[in-house]
């Protein structure tokens, strides 16, 4: 994608060609698969050159990135801007939400179109485009919710994956009974539709029926406070749904993406499924999960406790945040989003007397990168390459934006973060850029934040000054049939198994889940980071990669109904497509 250097952008700002040229010098470029001391030259919104001693036109602006890391802009795969749910509307609209994203180092967001039950998916999509297109400060894509099921929904899914609409992922809910929840039959049908369209199904994995019954029981027992939200849906309620979603995906022979994974039990269920699924399963967690915990639901102040209500909830087990960071580091989880879905205090008050009426959602789009850096890189659990993988590159790969997004390389979009690993700040609602009046990370001191954020070649955070342009972002079409997700089978020898045995790291600490092949690279990474204020105790394998296009996780089950049917004597298994007298509605 290119930008005409003399063009007027949507905000009416004339972009002069000299402003379209930028050299980022003396930084350490970090990609998901390695780091290099090198310079980056940007022109017309595209990375044109990467290297040393570059020959560049006069008048080019230079940013000196000495001592800084130069990383691909973050991709937040999970936001809800301008969403109406549970009788309220989110505080962050597409302008304020994407402005906050950019302030925190995120240069692409993927939001969710969530139709009401019975509403046309195409109408809902059009509505989201209308809300977003003129407001976004960075590029954005859309997932679409399948919140009800019928043949017309399937037809609209088909239209949505076409080139005209550019959607390649659909979210289904196993919770929110009587609102967006699908039963298992409809979930299976929706997964099959995704498989046919080679689109990626996503699930909100919680058992909505158990939650509904537990809610009735808690309210009857007089539990109305926010802690009831947590009590109504404990870890096994999430883990059961993760397992069930994986089973249904396996039956439908489709890859699967599980959004907002919040507990150790859920990650365990995912880990078990990933070992046996025919198709890949991806797990996303949230900044909220690694940055705070479920103790807040017991805060006596309703405002405080309700501000932390999201689904699945934060967990009371205090070891959860670190375990989730470890899971991200060792590839049990692949992505971190924000699920930014912010409601003001007045809206959270809707559940003052009944926890089940508190609008669900928290902040995170602005602080996702800094929180993960603090909890994962500064603690030595993750190195900067893996940080780039889980905050940016993996989302680009899974949603088919790679390598246009998620990579510092020639011809990639110039979405770049100059990250200062020594920059210190304290997160507060008073200082954040989001519209919401509460911050779940309030008072947390973080070391490491963006100094410059470049969106499509435009410096939008300039040495700490936020200078976004409303409407500057573009809608990103995400083509279906993503090669990283749906690559052709090559054989079971394609993917080297991950060695989950503990590993002695160079600084003597022991970590889990590191392939032995990462050891040599770890030493290099540690050396490279010396003197940059970044912990050298990193243990994440830089050598670990997402499955490349064409590679498959063919570990176990090879069962498939269609294969079984093919193998049967067709005289005894009557597969009738268009029998005399009308079409059959089933297989047998
Ligand atoms: O379920 C979600 O993803 C949205 C609609 C609400 N946010 C939340 O509580 N996770
Ligand atoms: Zn959800
Ligand atoms: Zn969400």
Q: Considering every ligand atom, which ligand is closest to the CA of 358?
A: 1
Question: Tokens standing for 161?
Answer: 């994956």
Q: Tell me 62's DSSP state.
A: E
Q: Considering every ligand atom, which ligand is closest to the CA of 79?
A: 3
Dist. CA 140–CA 136, nearest whole Å: 8
> What's the CA-to-centroid distance between 79 and ligand 3, angstroms?
6
Q: Which atom of ligand 1 is nearest to the CA of 176?
A: 1
Q: Considering every ligand atom, which ligand is closest to the CA of 85?
A: 1
Q: Tell me 489's DSSP state.
A: P
| Residue 546: predicted pLDDT | 54
> What's the CA-to-centroid distance between 565 and ligand 2, angstroms?
35
Q: Which residues surround ligand 3, an ion (CB under 5 A)?
A: 339
Dist. CA 115–CA 83, nearest whole Å: 10
Sites in the chain below the pLDDT cut of 50:
1-15, 490-528, 535-545, 550-559, 565, 569-588
Q: Which atom of ligand 1 is nearest to the CA of 309?
A: 9
Mutate to test the pocket of ligand 1, among 310, 363, 436 (most ligand atoms within 8 A of CB): 310
| Residue 566: predicted pLDDT | 61
Atom 7 in ligand 1: which residue has the minimum CA distance?
Answer: 361
Decide the pairing of beta strands 503-504 and 510-511: antiparallel
Segment (H or E) for 423 = strand 416-426
Atom 9 in ligand 1: which residue has the minimum CA distance?
Answer: 310
SS3 of 79, please? strand
Q: Is 508 left (phi over 0), alpha (psi -120 to 50) or beta?
A: left
Task: Spell out the residues 6+ positions from residue 383 whose beta carbon is closer than 8 angstroms to its own.
Answer: 377, 522, 525, 529, 538, 539, 540, 542
> What's the CA-to-centroid distance between 61 and ligand 2, angstroms?
43
The alpha carbon torsion through 371, 348, 340, 305 (nearest 10 deg) reads: 20
Atom 3 in ligand 1: which residue has the minimum CA distance?
Answer: 339
| Residue 505: predicted pLDDT | 31
Phi then psi for residue 386, to 5 deg, are -65, -35
SS3 of 275, please? helix
> What's the CA-to-centroid distance between 508 and ligand 2, angstroms?
40
Q: Which atom of ligand 1 is nearest to the CA of 175?
A: 1
Q: What is the DSSP string of 493-530?
A: TSSPPP--S-EE-TTS-EESS--GGGHHHHHHHHHHHT
Q: Considering every ligand atom, which ligand is closest to the CA of 360?
A: 1
> What's the CA-to-centroid distance between 446 and ligand 2, angstroms?
28
SS3 of 431, please? coil
Atom 2 in ligand 1: which residue has the minimum CA distance?
Answer: 311
Q: Which atom of ligand 1 is nearest to the CA of 83?
A: 5
Mutate to test the pocket of ligand 1, among 174, 211, 260, 285 (most ligand atoms within 8 A of CB): 260
Length of the chain: 588
Q: Which atom of ligand 1 is nearest to the CA of 260?
A: 10
Query: Do 308 and 362 contact (CB within 8 A), yes or no?
Result: yes
Question: Tokens standing for 271?
Answer: 């880990």
Q: Considering every ligand atom, which ligand is closest to the CA of 86?
A: 1
Task: Spell out the residues 6+ positions from residue 92 whose beta carbon is closer than 8 angstroms to its own.
Answer: 81, 82, 100, 340, 342, 363, 365, 434, 435, 436
Give the residue carrying structure tokens 């609409």. 165
Q: Considering every ligand atom, which ligand is closest to the CA of 258?
A: 2
Question: Tokens standing for 217?
Answer: 């029981």
Mutate to test the pocket of ligand 1, among 361, 365, 440 (most ligand atoms within 8 A of CB): 361
Question: Tokens standing for 349?
Answer: 């008050």
| Residue 584: predicted pLDDT | 27
Distance of CA 89 to the CA centre of its chain: 22
Distance of CA 172 to the CA centre of its chain: 15
Dist. CA 247–CA 200, nearest whole Å: 16
| Residue 13: predicted pLDDT | 45
Query: Do 45 and 2 contact (CB within 8 A), yes or no?
Result: yes
- Please give the C-alpha separations between residue 271 and each of 243, 419, 513, 542, in angstroms, as whole numbers: 10, 32, 12, 20
Q: Which atom of ligand 1 is nearest to the CA of 259?
A: 3
CA geometry: angle 210, 214, 220, nearest 5 deg = 155
SS3 of 16, please? coil
Mutate to test the pocket of ligand 1, among 206, 286, 341, 343 (most ligand atoms within 8 A of CB): 341
> What's the CA-to-centroid distance between 310 and ligand 1, angstroms?
6
The alpha carbon torsion through 410, 411, 412, 418 (nearest 10 deg) reads: 40
Query: Do 158 and 122 contact (CB within 8 A), yes or no?
Result: no
Cis peptide bond upstream of 65, omega within 30: no
> What's the CA-to-centroid distance between 46 and ligand 3, angstroms?
31
Phi then psi for residue 355, to 5 deg, are -55, -25
- Please give the C-alpha separations between residue 263 and each of 245, 335, 472, in angstroms, as whole numbers: 16, 15, 37
Decide the pairing of beta strands 510-511 and 445-455: unpaired
SS3 of 464, please? coil
Residues with CB under 6 A from ligand 1: 80, 85, 204, 260, 310-311, 339, 341, 360-361
Decide the pairing of beta strands 335-337 and 39-43: unpaired
Dist. CA 243–CA 100, nearest whole Å: 35
> What's the CA-to-centroid distance between 564 and ligand 3, angstroms?
37
Q: Which atom of ligand 1 is nearest to the CA of 204?
A: 1
Q: Which long-range contacts (CB under 8 A, 24 or more apart) does 496-505 make?
A: 498/330, 498/331, 498/544, 500/330, 503/539, 505/537, 505/538, 505/539
Q: Considering every ligand atom, which ligand is closest to the CA of 262?
A: 1
Residues pairing with 72 in the sheet: 416
Dist. CA 384–CA 36, nearest whole Å: 12
| Residue 532: predicted pLDDT | 64
**Which alpha helices (H) appear in 74-132, and where do they start and end?**
94-103, 121-132
| Residue 22: predicted pLDDT | 98
| Residue 8: predicted pLDDT | 36
Question: Tokens standing for 26?
Answer: 């003396």
> What's the CA-to-centroid distance between 361 and ligand 1, angstroms?
6
> What's the CA-to-centroid distance between 103 and ligand 3, angstroms?
21
Mutate to test the pocket of ligand 1, among 76, 78, 80, 90 (most ligand atoms within 8 A of CB): 80
Question: Tokens standing for 308?
Answer: 């932390």
- Please give the C-alpha separations between residue 371 and each of 307, 386, 424, 443, 489, in angstroms, as whole numbers: 18, 15, 12, 12, 38
| Residue 502: predicted pLDDT | 24
> What's the CA-to-centroid distance between 341 and ligand 1, angstroms?
7
> What's the CA-to-centroid distance between 78 and ligand 2, angstroms?
9
Radius of gyration, CA atoms only, the chain? 24
For residue 366, which of 418, 435, 421 has the smallest C-alpha distance? Answer: 435
For residue 356, which of 315, 313, 406 has the smallest C-alpha distance? Answer: 313
Query: What is the value of pTM for the model shown?
Result: 0.86
> What's the CA-to-centroid distance between 359 and ligand 3, angstroms?
12
CA geometry: angle 199, 201, 202, nearest 5 deg = 140
CB atoms within 10 A of CB 64: 12
Residues pairing with 458 in the sheet: 455
pLDDT, tens digit (0-9, with 9 covering 90-100), for 377-423 = 999 999 999 999 999 999 999 999 999 999 999 999 999 999 999 99
Atom 10 in ligand 1: which residue has the minimum CA distance?
Answer: 311
Q: Is 196 left (phi over 0), alpha (psi -120 to 50) or beta?
A: alpha
> What's the CA-to-centroid distance between 372 and ligand 3, angstroms?
19
């Amino acid at each position: 994608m290119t930008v005409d250097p003399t063009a007027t952008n949507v905000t009416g700002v004339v972009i002069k060609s000299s402003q379209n040229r930028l050299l980022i010098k003396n930084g350490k470029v970090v990609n998901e698969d390695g780091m290099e001391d090198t310079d980056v030259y940007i022109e017309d919104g595209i990375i044109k050159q990467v290297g040393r001693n570059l020959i560049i036109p006069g008048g080019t602006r230079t940013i000196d990135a000495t001592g800084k890391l130069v990383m691909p802009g973050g991709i937040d795969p999970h936001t809800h801007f301008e969403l109406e749910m549970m009788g309220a509307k989110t505080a962050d609209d597409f302008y304020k939400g994407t402005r906050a994203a950019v302030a925190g180092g995120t240069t692409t967001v993927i939001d969710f179109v969530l139709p009401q039950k019975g509403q046309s998916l195409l109408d809902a999509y059009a509505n989201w485009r209308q809300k977003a297109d003129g407001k976004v400060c960075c590029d954005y894509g859309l997932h679409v919710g399948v919140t009800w099921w019928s043949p017309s929904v399937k037809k609209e899914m088909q239209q949505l994956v076409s080139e005209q609409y550019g959607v390649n992922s659909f979210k289904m809910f196993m919770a929110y009974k009587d609102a967006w929840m699908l039963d298992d039959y409809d979930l299976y049908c929706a997964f099959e539709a995704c498989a046919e369209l080679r689109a990626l199904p996503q699930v909100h994995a919680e058992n909505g029926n158990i939650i509904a019954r537990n809610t009735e029981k808690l309210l009857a027992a007089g539990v109305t406070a926010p802690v009831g939200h947590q009590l109504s849906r404990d870890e096994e309620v999430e883990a059961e749904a993760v397992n069930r979603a994986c089973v249904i995906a396996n039956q439908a022979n489709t890859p699967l993406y599980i959004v907002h994974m919040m507990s150790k039990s859920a990650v365990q269920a995912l880990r078990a499924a990933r070992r046996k699924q025919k198709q890949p399963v991806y797990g996303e967690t949230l900044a909220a999960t690694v940055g705070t915990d479920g103790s807040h639901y017991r805060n006596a102040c309703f405002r405080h406790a309700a501000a932390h209500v999201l689904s699945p909830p934060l967990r009371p087990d205090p070891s959860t945040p670190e375990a989730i960071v470890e899971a991200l580091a060792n590839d049990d989880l692949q992505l971190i989003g924000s699920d930014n879905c912010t409601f003001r205090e007045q809206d959270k008050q809707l559940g003052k007397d009944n926890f089940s009426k508190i609008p669900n959602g928290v902040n995170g789009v602005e602080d996702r990168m800094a929180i993960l850096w603090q909890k994962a890189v500064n603690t030595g659990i993750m190195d900067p390459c893996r940080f780039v993988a889980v905050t940016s590159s993996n989302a680009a790969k899974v949603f088919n934006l790679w390598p246009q997004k998620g990579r510092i390389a020639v011809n990639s979009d110039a979405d770049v973060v100059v990250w200062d690993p020594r920059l210190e700040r304290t997160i507060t609602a008073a200082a954040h850029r989001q519209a919401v009046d509460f911050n779940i990370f309030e008072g947390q001191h973080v070391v490491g934040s963006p100094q410059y954020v470049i969106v499509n070649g435009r410096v939008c955070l300039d040495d700490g000054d936020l200078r976004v342009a409303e409407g500057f972002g573009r809608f990103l079409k995400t083509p279906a049939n993503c090669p990283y997700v749906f690559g052709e089978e090559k054989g079971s020898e394609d993917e080297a198994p991950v060695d989950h045995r503990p590993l002695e790291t160079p600084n003597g600490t022991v970590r889990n889940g590191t392939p032995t092949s990462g050891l040599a690279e770890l030493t290099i990474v540690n050396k490279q980071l010396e003197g940059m204020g970044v912990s050298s105790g990193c243990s994440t394998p830089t050598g670990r990669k997402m499955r490349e296009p064409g590679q498959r996780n063919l570990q176990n089950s090879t069962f498939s109904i269609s294969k079984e049917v093919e193998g049967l004597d067709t005289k005894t298994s009557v597969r009738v497509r268009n029998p005399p007298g009308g079409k059959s509605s089933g297989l047998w």
